[in-house]
Structure 1
Amino acid sequence: METAGKILRRSVHTFLLNYQYFTSTAALIALPFSASVLISQALRPSSSALWATVYNRLHSLFNAAGFPPSLEFFNILNHKLSQTITSSVFTFPFSLTFLLITKSFVIQTLSRHQKPNSSSHPSFLSTISLYTPLLHTHVYNSFFILSANATVFSILFIAFNVLEGSGFSSPNTLLFLSASGAVLYSIVLANALIICNLALVLSGTQNSGGYLAILKACLLIRGRTSTALSLALPVSLTLAAVESLFQYRLLRAYHFTGQIGSSMAMEGVFIAYLYSILVVLDTTVSFLFLQSCKPSSRGIEYRDDEESCGDLKAVKVLP
């Protein structure tokens, strides 16, 4: 199993080898999705009716579940969840189209480079053929993320109610449990996002999607969680930095002047283009991480099994 640093270096090297194609085709296709993400992050909660509706619903749900309303942890969590849900709803159409097509282009390009006697870049029709399995996996990924959130909230609900029923409801105990819940939620959500990202790449390489891709991703990531987190952290921090740059350069100026000039608009397009390049690089990192997992699968072997799974890949656990 390669280290995270080596996979990152290989990813950057592979990206530079395909720099012209990735920056002129894949990044431009991802540009509408990137712009939607940046704009959704820029929406003010006070001016969004959807955000207010989601916030009030979550607040009522937390109160009905018996969570202590005085804890700042649940207020912060409610606020961040409302922002995330609002942003996801706003960007969902762009995710289903531009993001998945971009990932199809990148996966198809990287797969062709590993095959002899193949053209360097895929055709548009061959790339679109990967869209359907990616779409199926993306839909199942959404349910998987919802299930991960529901699981964490159920654990927190049980923990808070058990402590309250046992008489351990002091402020220090609740503060400790809130901090533990925040750590648990971050770990579970990070692993769920990594599995979903890997499942999309699996769908593209095997041309088959759905819930089986998520199950295979869970098998592949066993024993490699630390490497996957080490790979996801730099990309996530860089994406967050680009979002902060967009808010600082454009939103800050817009709040002062109250208008958007041509220079500000061009700067916004450039920042969205940088975000698109990072999306392409993130897909490249996930693809090379998947390739590094397969040879050293620690007892897991992939084989074609047309009788049992049709076009899908069956998983055989070696003794």
Structure 2
Amino acid sequence: MGRARDIMRRSIFTFLKDFQLFTLFPCLIAFSYAVSVLMSQSLVSSSHVFVLIHGRMRSLFLAAGIPPSSEIFAFFNLKLSETVFTFLIALPFSFSFLLLAKASVIRALDHRRLEKSYPFSSWLSEFNTLCVTQLWNSLVMLSANATSFCILSISFNLFDVLGLSSKGSILLLSATGLVIYSIVLANSYITCKLALVLSGMEKQGGFASILKAFFLIRGRTLTALSLAVTLSLGLAAIEALFQYRVAKAYHESMTLSSSMVLEGMLVSYLYSILLVLDTVNDCVFVESCRNDPPERLPIACIPRSFSRASLNFLADDRDQVADQVERRKDNRHPQMEMY
């Protein structure tokens, strides 16, 4: 937790140091994505698409052998349907405005580190790389969800065959399955987040960035999870604020006033600020991982299905990081070379 606290402090300091830069251009780009996410959650109760998604998910659970009497999976089905609905509504904005905002933040930090001026048009060179990586991230998250769902389905059917279909057994299996699902999803989420930042910093996207991010967080998973949970709680708090101040007031009066619009815009802007801070935090975390003494990548543990080019790409990156660490150690004690 101490390491996560230091990274968070450094991220906030970096954000406040260039406050005008980060709150002007990247936040305005991410504003559209923030509005789509907040508005999609307000449309859940009155949308026919959500009812259709919820019914399809329930049918899928029944077909997989998961008992409908489980209250845990009833709640899980509801939240998963809300997540799918929000993802579909915000999908066009996540592949356009959100990636543009992340590219502008990564480019701004890169130019600030190199002590160069920051042209606003320079983020376009990273957009295509981020878009390719985002597509791979979507496939990875889909695969993680599908794998977890298949394991849950096999477990429930196995318990049914063995005659362990009592209420206590179902409750125990449901709780265990949700814990395992949360662990798999959390690790996939932080890996995909860091892969997106790595692809923008190194100008090379695709599955190689996901593989590098996976090895980058080895031994630092707890720190990455702590940072992700902290910022996710902040985003959830802003979403709850929007529901309480804007959505609830609109449903009670059924009229849209100018104060509601202004308050909704303010909350959406706060949401976009936190999205930008999240990207800054990911960049700082990646830099801190690179500055640590690098560990040798377990090449023997990598499946043979990966190409030799991908393995060489990872090994070259490891050697580059090691050289950077050695140069920094030498620069810290320049007078020792005289003796």
Do these two structures clear the TM 0.5 threshold for a shared fold by scoring above it?
yes
Q: CA RMSD in A?
A: 1.9
- 1:53 corresponds to: 52
Moved beyond 3 Å, runs of 4+: none
**Hey, what does 2:166 align to over in structure 1?**
170
User: How far apart are 1:91 and its partner, in Å?
Assistant: 0.3
Aligned residue number for residue 243 of structure 1: 239
| SS of corresponding position for 2:291 | coil
Whether 1:226 and 2:226 are equivalent positions in the alignment is no
- Name which of structure 1's ranges 47-56 and 229-238 shifts more when overlaid on structure 2: 47-56
Contact 1:63 1:69 survives alignment (8 Å): yes
Structure 2 alignment gaps of length 5 or more: 298-307, 320-339
Q: How big is each residue's C-alpha offset from its partner over 1:8-40, in whole Å with a ceiling of 9 and x where there is no partner?
A: 000000000110011111111110010001001
The CA deviation at 1:173 is: 1.1
How far apart in 1 are the matches of 2:313 and 2:106?
A: 17
The answer to whether the 8 Å contact 1:111/1:205 transfers is yes
Q: How big is the shift at 1:298?
A: 3.8
- Tell me the distance in 2 between the aligned counterparts of 1:285 and 1:300: 25
Structure 2 residue aligned with 1:304 = none
Other structure's SS at 2:72 match: helix
Specify the SS of the correspondent of 2:164: coil
The whole-number CA distance in structure 2 between the counterparts of 1:50 and 1:230 is 34
The residue aligned with 2:177 is: 181
Which one-letter code corresponds to 1:93 in the other structure? P
One-letter amino acid of the counterpart of residue 29, structure 1 = I
Within-5 A mapping of 1:39-78:
39-45=39-45, 47-78=46-77
* Bigger fraction of residues in helix: 2
The answer to whether the aligner puts 1:148 opposite 2:139 as a matched pair is no
Kindly provide the CA deviation profile for residues 98-139 of structure 1, in whole angstroms up to 9, marking residues without a partner as x.
1000000100111122224x22x2x23321110000000011
Give the residue type in structure 2 aligned to 1:72.
Answer: E
Separation of aligned partners in 1, 2:94 and 2:124 = 15
| Larger Rg belongs to | 2
- Superposed, 1:1-319 pairs within 5 Å as 3-45=3-45, 47-116=46-115, 118-119=116-117, 121=118, 123-296=119-292, 298-300=294-296, 313-315=313-315
For residues 205 and 191 of structure 1, the distance between their equivalents in structure 2, rounded to whole angstroms, comes to: 21
Give the TM-score of the pair, scaled to structure 1.
0.92
The structure-2 alpha-carbon separation of the partners of 1:211 and 1:297, relative to structure 1 and needing over 3 Å to count, comes to farther
**Cα distance, 1:79 vs structure 2:** 1.2
- Tell me, yes or no, if the aligned pair for 2:212 and 2:314 is still in contact at 8 Å: no
The 1:50/1:315 distance shift into structure 2, 3 A limit, reads farther
* Residue identity matched to 2:23: T
Shift of 1:166: 1.4
Q: Secondary structure at the match of 1:223?
A: coil
Question: Taking structure 1 as reference, are residues 73 and 2 closer, same or farther at Cα in structure 2, changes over 3 Å only?
Answer: closer
Residues of 2 paired with 1:293 and 1:192: CA distance?
Answer: 18
Question: How much does 1:313 deviate?
Answer: 4.3
Structure 1 unaligned regions, length at least 5 = 302-307
1:130 is paired with a residue whose SS is: helix
Structure 1, residues 42-77: CA drift from partner, whole Å, max 9, x if none? Answer: 1133x2222122222211111111111211122112
CA distance in 2, matches of 1:297, 1:135: 31
Q: Retained in 2: the 8 A contact 1:8–1:285? A: yes
* Distance in 2 separating the partners of 1:272 and 1:161: 44
CA contact (8 A) 1:30 1:98 kept: yes
Residue identity in the other structure for 2:247: L
Cα deviation digits, residues 261-302 of structure 1 (max 9, x gap): 00110000000000000000000000011011112254248x
Contact 2:133 2:206 in 1 (8 A): yes
Asked whether the 8 Å contact 1:242–1:271 carries over to 2, the reply is yes
User: Which residue does the alignment assign to 2:327?
Assistant: none
Equivalenced residue count is 307
> What CA distance in whole angstroms lies between the structure 2 residues aligned with 1:112 and 1:144?
31
Contact map agreement 1:106 1:280 (CA 8 A) in 2:
yes
Rounded Cα–Cα distance in structure 1 between residues aligned with 2:197 and 2:287 = 10
CA distance, structure 2, for counterparts of residue 126 and residue 239 of structure 1: 28
Say whether the 8 Å CA contact 1:220–1:297 is kept in structure 2.
no
Contact 2:33-2:93 at 8 Å conserved across structures: yes
- TM-score of the superposition, structure 2-length normalised? 0.86
Matching residue of 1:305: none
Rounded to whole Å, the distance in 2 between the matches of 1:289 and 1:262 is 41
Q: In structure 2, how many angstroms separate the alpha carbons of the residues matched to 1:263 and 1:62?
A: 43
Identical columns (%): 47
